Amino acid sequence: MKLVLIAMAFAGCVCAHVVSMSSGDLTIDGSAAHYELRIPLYELPHVTSPETVLLSRIRFSSGGGGARMLSSHCAADPAHARYVCIADYRFPAPVEWLDVECTFPAAISATHVHVLRAQLGTDSRARQDQAVFDQAFQRATLRFRPPTAAEIAITEFLAGSVRALEGAVQLVFLAALALAARTRRELLALTLMFIGGQILAVVVVPFAAWQPAPRFVEAAAALTIAYLAVEILLLPGAGARWLVAGVLGGFHGLYFHLFLQTTGYGPAFVLAGAAAAETIVVAIFALVFSRVNRVARALHPVQVSASALLVFGMVRFALRLRN
C-alpha cells in the first residue's frame, strides 16, 4: 500500500511531457542574425509571459561578445497548433563561429529538447550547422563545418542514450519490463523484443500515411506501463509475454520517430544508443528486483510493485488526456 501511495504522489507531481520538443532556425548574415522559434502550443499553458520568457532562455554569442536583440515578436499560430517567436540580433562583429546557451527545459519541461539549425551566410556558399539542447546539454559551439563521421556517430549515439532514459515514463516502463520477466531467459527475450518493437516503429511509420500526434504518443506510453502491470498482476502465468513486449516497444518507438523527424538524425546510431542504455538499465532493475524478492518475499514485492506501476501508468494517462 505504501508503494501505491508513493506512485500516486510521484505520478501526480511529475507532469513533464514525454514528447517535449521545439525547433528554431537562425540565419546569420555578417553580424546580423534572424531567429525563428517554433514550439507546440500544448507546451505553454504553465509558462507565464512566453513572449519574454522563451527568448530570454536562448543566448547567442561569437568571439566572446554576446548578440544584442534588436526586435522580437511572438504570437500563437492556431492553424499549426504552435507558438512562434521571431527575433533579430546584432553581433559585435561578423560571425565565424557561434556559441549558444539554451535553457528551455528550466522554463518548459525537464524533458524538453530544442533543435537549433543555423546557417552562416545567405548566398550559395552558405554553411549550415545544427545543435540539440536539453537539460543535460545546455551549451554548444557551432563551427559551420561538416562534422566527421566519428562526430556524427558519437553525437547521435549519445542523443539516443539520453532520449531513452530522460523521462519518468521511460524509466518506469523499463522497471516494469524487468519486473515482468520470470527468468533470465525471459528477461533477455523481453528486452530484445521491446527494442525490436521500437526499431520496427521507426522503420515502418515514415512509410505510413498516419502521423502520430505527440499527445497520442504520451498517452500510449503511459498505457504501456499500466498494461504491463495488469499482465503481471492478473496473468502471472501467461505465455508469449515477449510478444506483448514487442507490441509495447512499438508504441515507445513512436517517440523516437518524432525525435528523428525533428532533428534529422539518422536512425542507426540513435537507436543503437537507446538500445545500449535500455539494456543496461533493465539489467540493473532486474538485479535490484531479484535481491528484493529474495529478502522480502513474504511482503509480495512483485505484486506490490506492479500495483504501484499500474497506478503510475493510469495517473499519467489521465494527466495526458487532461493537458
pLDDT of amino acid 8: 39
Grid coordinates belonging to 184: 533470465
- Residue 88's beta-bridge partner residues? 34, 71
Residues 6+ apart with CB under 8 A from 96: 62, 63, 120, 144
CA torsion angle 220 226 228 229 (round to 10): 170
Grid coordinates belonging to 199: 526499431
Consecutive 10-residue runs of the chain (323 residues): their mean pLDDT?
Answer: 40 54 95 96 88 95 93 94 95 95 92 93 89 91 90 93 86 88 92 96 89 80 86 81 90 91 91 97 92 76 82 78 65
Task: Enumerate helices (H) and strands (E) in the chain, giving the number of each.
Answer: 10, 10
pLDDT in tens, 207-257: 887 878 777 888 888 888 888 888 888 877 777 888 889 999 998 999 999
Q: Is 83 within 8 Å of 41 (Cβ atoms)?
A: yes
Q: Which among 7, 295, 5, 2 is positioned nearest to 176, based on CA atoms? A: 7
pTM: 0.79
In order of start, what are the domains of the chain with their CATH numbers? Answer: 2-16+167-322 (no CATH), 21-154 (2.60.40)
pLDDT of amino acid 118: 96
Angle at 3 between CA 317 and CA 241, to 5 degrees: 60
What DSSP element (H or E) covers 275? Answer: helix 267-295
Residue that is written with C-alpha cell 554569442 in the block: 61
Q: Is 20 within 8 Å of 323 (Cβ atoms)?
A: no
CA torsion angle 45 116 20 38 (round to 10): 40
Q: Is 259 within 8 Å of 134 (Cβ atoms)?
A: no
